[in-house]
Amino acid sequence: MDPKPGAVVAGKYRIGDLLGSGAMGNVYAGVHVDIGRRVAIKLMNHAFADAPDVRARFRREARAASAVESDYIVQIFDAGHDDTYGSYLVSELLVGEDLAARIARTGPLDVSTAVTIGYQIARGLAKAHAAGVIHRDLKPSNLFLTVRDDGALLAKILDFGVAKLLSDPSDPPSASSASQSPGLTVTGSVVGTPQYMSPEQVDGMVLDGRTDLWSLAAVVYEALSGKPAFPSRPSFVEVLASILREPIAALDFVAPQVPHQVALVVHAGLERDRSRRIPDATAFAERLAQACPEVIFPRTGPLHAFCDHDEDIPVSIVEVPFWGHASTAPSSDHAATEEHAPVRGPESRSFR
């Protein structure tokens, strides 16, 4: 049952306001009744209360997030089961809003903010991957924007509900559909958006950290442009098909304020062939920093220094260009090079 404000969960946590709802749970502000610490408490939706592996899912989420210590990953304090309210997960209380809410409220983020978010989340992912944790469900609603004590932006990864803990023997590779397919419940019905799934996730391949890089690149694309790299479609299957095949509109055409060098990095994260994608989260962070050094390593000003774009978009272009390759054979070097530059004109191109 849903707790009323003031209800106490597990004899320890007094429930306050509803902060947010995701595919699986409702998150409430709360306070530890003994020590007064303010927390966030996630309780599973009724719809899933009877699902057989609900407890296992919360346990996995707690273990996966706890396996990594990073400023850029939400801290989990506790997990357990309450006879009245079911499984619960307790984390640090974050003040701010998730990225989905932010984009809905303001539209595209300014370049420096979006690049900062991409950089910080990539840093968090690098730590997660080094600890053997793959998130597998990165999307705007699973990234939270808060503010440090010094006033600077701080982005944090939430919701390790479908994360894969590579060292966890209770979570074998094919333990459930959810272990391979974020966005699917244990019963196989769609509960989330598949728009940020990587092509290899769609294909049901064994995943590694590069799947998170794809999803992060798709999130940064949307943060910069206000438009998803793969727009929603009438059906789940059509979204999946578009992830596998549809050309991706060139970011710096869709959002002309985006510097070309930044667009190059984002599209290099959206390489369908993961052997050609930016190889890991550290490299993605470094490439973003190189593309926009004034943002990540401010030399003269605050963190959110202005990031200029390198060239103007010709006004004569009327067709939306797509990301793709010139019809010449692609380079074997998978790092994004000028050959992988977004197509700026309506010339004929071959797409993969």
Ligand X SMILES: Nc1ncnc2c1ncn2[C@@H]1O[C@H](COP(=O)(O)OP(=O)(O)O)[C@@H](O)[C@H]1O
Instruction: Please enumerate in sequence order all residues whose Cβ is within 8 A of that of 141, keeping only pairs 6 or more positions apart, or say none.
Output: 20, 22, 98, 99, 100, 101, 159
Measured between alpha carbons, how far is 226 from 224 in angstroms, rounded to an integer? 6
Give the one entry of Mg ion, ligand X, none that residue 121 binds, where binding means its C-beta sits below a cut-off of 5 to 8 angstroms depending on kind: none
Least distance (Å) between residue 102 CB and ligand X: 10
Measured between alpha carbons, how far is 103 from 101 in angstroms, rounded to an integer? 6
Give the one entry of Mg ion, ligand X, none that residue 225 binds, where binding means its C-beta sits below a cut-off of 5 to 8 angstroms depending on kind: none
Among 9, 19, 115, 341, binds ligand X (CB under 6 A): 19
Residue span binding ligand X (CB under 6 A) among the ranges 158-166, 180-188, 269-277, 280-288: 158-166
Least distance (Å) between residue 331 CB and Mg ion: 37
Using only the alpha carbons of the chain, give its radius of gyration.
Answer: 21
Among 16, 85, 98, 274, binds ligand X (CB under 6 A): 98
- Range list of H helices, the chain: 54-66, 99-106, 111-130, 177-180, 199-202, 210-225, 236-245, 251-254, 260-269, 281-291, 293-296
Residue bearing tokens 């057989």: 52
Give the one entry of Mg ion, ligand X, none that residue 42 binds, where binding means its C-beta sits below a cut-off of 5 to 8 angstroms depending on kind: ligand X
Per CB under 6 A, contacts with ligand X among 24-43 are 24-25, 27, 40, 42
Q: Is 142 in the site for ligand X (CB under 6 A)?
A: yes
Summarize as ranges the residues that interact with Mg ion (CB under 5 A): 22, 142, 159
252 is catalytic: no
Give the one entry of Mg ion, ligand X, none that residue 162 binds, where binding means its C-beta sits below a cut-off of 5 to 8 angstroms depending on kind: none
Q: 298-303: long-range contacts (C-beta < 8 A, 24 or more apart)?
A: 302/152, 303/112, 303/116, 303/152, 303/153
Among 23, 114, 157, 220, binds ligand X (CB under 6 A): 23
Give the one entry of Mg ion, ligand X, none that residue 87 binds, where binding means its C-beta sits below a cut-off of 5 to 8 angstroms depending on kind: none
Least distance (Å) between residue 347 CB and ligand X: 41
Among 62, 94, 283, 343, binds ligand X (CB under 6 A): 94
Residue 20 or 247 having the CB closest to ligand X: 20
> How distant, in Å, are the alpha carbons of 167, 222, 254, 268, 303 from that of 250?
38, 12, 6, 12, 27
Q: Which residue is nearest to Mg ion (CB)?
A: 22
Measured between alpha carbons, how far is 172 from 27 in angstroms, rounded to an integer? 28
Residue 139 or 276 having the CB closest to ligand X: 139
Q: Which amino acid is at 78?
A: D
Least distance (Å) between residue 307 CB and Mg ion: 29
Q: Which of 50, 71, 110, 137 is labelled catalytic? A: 137
Give the one entry of Mg ion, ligand X, none that residue 74 binds, where binding means its C-beta sits below a cut-off of 5 to 8 angstroms depending on kind: ligand X
> How distant, in Å, are the alpha carbons of 102, 226, 257, 289 from that of 304?
17, 19, 16, 13
Question: Where are the extended beta strands (E) located within 12-159?
Answer: 13-21, 25-32, 38-44, 76-82, 86-92, 97-98, 133-134, 143-147, 153-157
Contact present, 158 and 98 (Cβ < 8 Å)? yes
Residue 29 or 166 having the CB closest to ligand X: 29
Using the 8-state DSSP alphabet, how is residue 126 labeled? H
Residue 22 or 259 having the CB closest to Mg ion: 22
> Positive or negative, the Cα torsion across 281, 273, 157, 91?
negative
Per CB under 6 A, contacts with ligand X among 246-305 are none
Measured between alpha carbons, how far is 106 from 85 in angstroms, rounded to an integer? 35
Residue 103 or 254 having the CB closest to ligand X: 103
- What are the tokens at 185? 């419940």
Q: Is 158 in the site for ligand X (CB under 6 A)?
A: yes
Give the one entry of Mg ion, ligand X, none that residue 98 binds, where binding means its C-beta sits below a cut-off of 5 to 8 angstroms depending on kind: ligand X
List the catalytic residues: 137
Interface residues toward ligand X, by CB under 6 A: 19-25, 27, 40, 42, 74, 91-94, 98, 141-142, 144, 158-159, 161
